Amino acid sequence: DLLLPDRLLTALREARHVTVFTGAGVSAESGVPTFRDAHTGLWARFDPAALATPEAFAADPALVWGWYEWRRARVMRAAPNPAHRAIAALARHVPALSVITQNVDDLHERAGSTGVAHLHGRLMQPRCSVCGQPWRYPPGMPDEPAAGRRVTPPDCPRCAGPIRPGVVWFGEPLPADEWQRAMAATAGCDLFITVGTSALVYPAAQLPQVAAEQGARVLQLNPQPTALDTIADWNLLGPAGTLLPALVH
């Protein structure tokens, strides 16, 4: 059994509004690779500038679309893990729960969380890169293209522009409504739990700082040290799939 500090248990029991902020680490135990982990992270094998920018898509749409199709197929084959399920269950234990994620997968929703703010968009909701019209995938499980295989993006039925992944690339603004909801949930909570993020990508990485400045206690769950170690009131070192179920029972 995990030994939790008394003050943390009290903060959790007395919290009126808990906000959970997640990054790629919360999906790691579902088999979805993180970005920056040294050997297993996506960026250990692929250059972010070559894939996760509007310039990369403009230069080589099939390379970028193929990479996201590979990741989408992997996410569709993955299942929520005990961390996603514990976050969904937490909603039944506290008066108010907000969930903010940087992840583009849908594993929080598949675990039962609702109203999740997706700061970096959604893998499953592509749109036209020219006119913005949402585009729907045909039903069914896609073939998993080999990592690095080019796949020509579909054409928009309205304007014939290339369809792009529904994610937020470097240099692009975050979706305004989801950012606003995230800021409100951050400023309004009394306990802010940050899980599985390196907190290196802005503006999302500001949120724990904002929470602390607004008077919330900050709990960090991560197996590694991060940029947030000095901001957090408590740092629990370990995998989310072990720590979160221990907190929520």
- Going by C-alpha positions, the residue among 196, 217, 197 that lies closest to residue 205 is 197
23 touches ligand BJW (CB under 6 A): yes
Catalytic residue among 84, 108, 118, 120: 120
Q: Which residue has its beta carbon closest to ligand BJW?
A: 25
As a whole number of angstroms, the distance between CA 138 and CA 85 comes to 28
Per DSSP, 204 falls in state: G
Q: How far is the CB of 194 from ligand BJW (least distance, A)?
A: 10
Sheet holding 117-118, edge to edge: 117-118, 96-101, 17-22, 191-195, 217-222, 234-237
- Interface with ligand BJW (CB under 6 A), residue total 33
* Residue 120 falls in the annotated catalytic set: yes
C-beta closer to ligand BJW: residue 157 or 170:
170
**Of positions 112, 142, 154, 223, contacts ligand BJW by CB under 6 A:** 223
Q: What are the strands, taking DSSP E only, across 35-162?
A: 96-101, 117-118, 127-128
Stretch (H or E) spanning 35: none
80 touches ligand BJW (CB under 6 A): no
**Where on the chain is the footprint of ligand BJW (CB under 6 A)?**
23-25, 28-29, 34-37, 41, 52, 102, 104, 120, 167-168, 170-173, 196-198, 200-203, 222-224, 226, 239-240
